């Protein structure tokens, strides 16, 4: 047992705005966290581990000590009252036996869309561990989507309606397992043409009572909605026209309305293609995780500029230490 008489891990803890701006490659992250001490300090600085701990008995600051037999080689300790606490206590990583460095690298690989096979090879861990942690990370971003829901459209600063494209598409309908037919998943979606912000949700059907509440939840009044003809004619006609203006594209014939080239659904069609490519690669033949993978796609589309920093910030919010 070695006493280093440190009451804090890092001299300075970053605020949320600083954490959100974090951006580094896998190699840069590995270089910054080459040993357990640097990994612990890196994580404490970004609010992923407690930077200091008070004794549960006397309330005085504990000392960080070295114990080589412990997983992370460090624990919090109050000698006077024989109080000890893991540096992982209360954190996202508390129940894991993986090294903190490997967990950081896994988070970076997940946010950068590494394949699970690549994660297994680079981190030397089994498939079940990788699958579990990818699921944990999807739960984190699903929480973030619920806490900060996306809304689209409205009226721009220049007073013109913001264009929102609506559409529907079927995902993962194909033949598998000796010719058996896979039913697939109907997904209803919307994308804001100006910013690229999008919303998608799996729906049990395409009836008005299913889709109308979704449109009202996602799309702000004043928007100009451009939609597949079935959406526009069969659904939007029953929504208060004082809230939205709308145009339609006959999807079966053309993605662009020949009478007005601005009336098109090209952006949402491109978004469908990107989402389907990603989900097909991830889901394989698993239907149970479809919604979870769809949420992952939406979250990464939402934070595409600095996904690593956004994920670290979200973890620190969900697991405050």
What is the DSSP-derived secondary structure letter of residue 306?
A: S
How are beta strands 224-228 and 163-171 bridged, if at all? parallel
The pLDDT confidence band at residue 227, using thresholds 50, 70 and 90, is confident
pLDDT beyond 90 at 265: no
Six token digits for residue 170: 């079927």
**Burial annotation 8-24 (CB, 10 A radius, 16+ → b, else e):** ebbeebbeeeebbebee
Q: What's the confidence (pLDDT) of residue 260?
A: 44
- Give the least confident one: 180-189, 235-244, 246-255, 279-288: 246-255
pLDDT beyond 50 at 151: yes
User: What are the strands, taking DSSP E only, across the chain?
Assistant: 2-6, 63-66, 74-78, 83-86, 152-153, 163-171, 175-176, 180-181, 185-192, 198-202, 219-220, 224-228, 245-249
pLDDT beyond 90 at 285: no
pLDDT digits (tens, 9 = 90+) for 5-40: 689 999 999 999 999 999 999 999 999 999 999 999
The pLDDT confidence band at residue 240, using thresholds 50, 70 and 90, is low
Six token digits for residue 150: 């996306």
Contact in structure between 232 and 246 (CB atoms under 8 Å): yes
The pLDDT confidence band at residue 231, using thresholds 50, 70 and 90, is low
Q: Which domains does the chain show, CATH number per domain?
A: 16-125 (no CATH), 163-303 (3.30.420)
């Amino acid at each position: 047992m070695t006493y280093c008489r440190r009451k804090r891990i890092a001299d300075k803890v970053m605020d949320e705005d600083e954490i959100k701006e974090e951006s580094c490659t896998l190699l840069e992250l590995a270089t910054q966290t080459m040993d357990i001490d640097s990994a612990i300090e890196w994580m404490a600085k970004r609010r992923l581990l407690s930077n200091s701990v008070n004794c549960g008995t006397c309330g005085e600051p504990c000392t960080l000590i070295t114990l080589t037999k412990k997983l992370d080689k460090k624990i919090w300790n109050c000698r006077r009252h024989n109080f000890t606490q893991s540096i992982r206590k209360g954190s996202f990583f508390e129940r894991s036996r993986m090294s903190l460095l490997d967990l950081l690298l896994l988070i970076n690989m997940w946010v950068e869309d590494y394949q699970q096979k690549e994660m297994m090879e680079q981190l030397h861990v089994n498939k079940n561990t990788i699958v579990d942690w990818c699921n944990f990370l999807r739960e984190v971003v699903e929480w973030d989507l619920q806490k900060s829901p996306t809304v689209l459209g409205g009226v721009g600063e220049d007073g013109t309606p913001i264009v929102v494209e609506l559409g529907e598409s079927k995902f993962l309908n194909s033949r598998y397992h000796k010719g058996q037919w896979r039913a697939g998943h109907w997904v209803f979606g919307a994308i804001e043409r100006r910013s690229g912000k999008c919303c998608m949700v799996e729906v049990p059907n395409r009836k008005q009572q299913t889709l109308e509440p979704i449109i009202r939840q996602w799309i702000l009044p004043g928007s100009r909605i451009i939609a597949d003809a079935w959406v526009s004619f069969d659904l939007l006609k029953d929504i208060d026209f004082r809230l939205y203006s709308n145009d339609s594209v006959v999807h079966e014939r053309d993605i662009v309305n020949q009478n007005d080239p601005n009336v098109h659904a090209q952006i949402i069609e491109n978004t469908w293609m990107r989402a389907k490519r990603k989900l097909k690669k991830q889901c394989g033949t698993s239907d149970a995780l479809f919604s979870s993978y769809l949420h992952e796609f939406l979250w990464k589309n939402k934070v595409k500029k600095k996904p690593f920093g956004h994920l670290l910030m979200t973890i620190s919010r969900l697991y405050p230490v």
